[in-house]
């Protein structure tokens, strides 16, 4: 199984428009972060987690011509704003039309239907995204092909819920601020954990670095990677030196291989 970090930045991305801080003006490509998203390839199944405003650019970078499904973590625009661009995958082998399966909680699915209502109209105009939207229950695993996916529920501050995903020995969480003990149990035995860490200072709706490290300590993966990082976390080369040996800062384009039996 292979995990590719398509984007590792926050809702504004890095660099932030107009910002002249050391991170936003850095020449280190690891400091340039598109909005957070990931791709997981397992056997013949290719999954994308989140499709924010940078989805088109991220897919062009990968060079892939097919995805099997998109898993949405929550309804915020930096995670669903690029869904219109699934059209390219619909029509890449035209006249064959391939619908894209999208999995989301009922609340997130409702937002997708509202924001992209033209894709669900009874009388659709030509060329709209062809989407098969599936509502998931965070208490129950589901499957894409022969790949089982375990939803992991969390809190994104006081107002919003968020869903992470476990796929075999990999777990991917973003935009978490809280997670219950039962959900942590779903993560037992993972070898690779990706988890959000907005910055070192506290934040009211995202893990900071210390909170992410505490979850990593509880889960005990072989390796862990921080994602959804803002420019406030500092330069990659400097900030990573403050982390434990088995924890790294992810960066756009980083690929991780996970061996499975």
**pLDDT recorded at residue 158:** 87
pLDDT by residue for the chain (261 residues), tens digit each? 999 999 999 999 999 999 999 999 999 999 999 999 999 999 999 999 999 999 999 999 999 999 999 999 999 999 999 999 999 999 999 889 999 999 999 999 999 999 999 999 998 888 899 999 999 999 999 999 999 999 999 999 889 999 999 999 999 999 999 999 999 999 999 999 999 999 999 999 999 999 999 999 999 999 999 999 999 999 999 999 999 999 999 999 999 999 987
CA distance 79 to 199: 19
Q: What is the pLDDT of residue 131?
A: 95
What is the rounded CA–CA span in Å between residue 210 and residue 217?
Answer: 10
User: Residue 231: what pLDDT?
Assistant: 98
Q: What contacts 260, CB < 8 A, 6 or more positions away?
A: 1, 42, 168, 169
C-alpha to C-alpha distance for 252 and 164, rounded to whole angstroms:
19
Model pLDDT, residue 41: 98
Q: What is the DSSP string of 21-70?
A: STTTT---GGG-BPBSEEEEEETTEEEEE---TTHHHHHHHHT-S--SEE
pTM of the prediction? 0.97
Hey, what are 90's tokens? 């619909």
- Could you tell me if 42 and 202 are in contact, meaning their C-beta atoms sit under 8 angstroms apart? no
| Assigned token pair, 165 | 């995903």
Instruction: Note the pLDDT of residue 157.
Output: 87
> Taking a C-beta distance cutoff of 8 angstroms, is the pair 14, 29 a contact?
no
Please state, in angstroms and rounded to a whole number, the distance separating the CA atoms of residues 182 and 168. Answer: 18
């Amino acid at each position: 199984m292979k995990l590719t970090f398509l984007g590792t930045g926050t809702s504004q991305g890095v660099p932030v428009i107009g910002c002249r801080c050391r991170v936003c003006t850095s020449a280190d490509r690891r400091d340039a972060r598109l909005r957070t998203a990931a791709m997981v390839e397992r056997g013949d199944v290719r999954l994308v987690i989140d499709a924010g405003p940078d989805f088109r650019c991220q897919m062009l970078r990968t060079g892939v011509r097919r995805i099997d499904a998109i898993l949405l973590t929550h309804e915020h625009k930096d995670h669903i704003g690029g869904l219109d661009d699934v059209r390219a995958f619909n029509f890449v082998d035209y006249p064959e039309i391939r619908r894209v399966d999208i999995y989301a909680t009922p609340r997130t699915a409702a937002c997708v239907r509202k924001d992209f209502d033209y894709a669900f109209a009874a009388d659709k105009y030509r060329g709209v995204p062809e989407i098969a939207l599936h509502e998931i229950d965070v208490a129950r695993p589901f499957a894409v092909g022969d790949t089982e996916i375990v939803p992991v529920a969390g809190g994104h501050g006081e107002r919003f819920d968020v869903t992470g995903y476990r796929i075999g020995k990999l777990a991917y969480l973003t935009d978490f601020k809280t997670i219950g003990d039962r959900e942590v149990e779903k993560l037992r035995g993972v070898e690779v954990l990706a988890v959000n860490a907005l910055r070192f200072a506290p934040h009211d709706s995202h893990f900071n670095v210390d909170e992410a490290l505490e979850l990593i300590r509880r889960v005990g993966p072989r390796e862990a990677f921080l994602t959804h990082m803002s420019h406030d976390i500092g330069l990659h080369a400097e900030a990573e030196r403050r982390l434990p040996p088995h924890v790294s800062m992810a960066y756009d384009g980083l690929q991780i291989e996970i061996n499975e039996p």
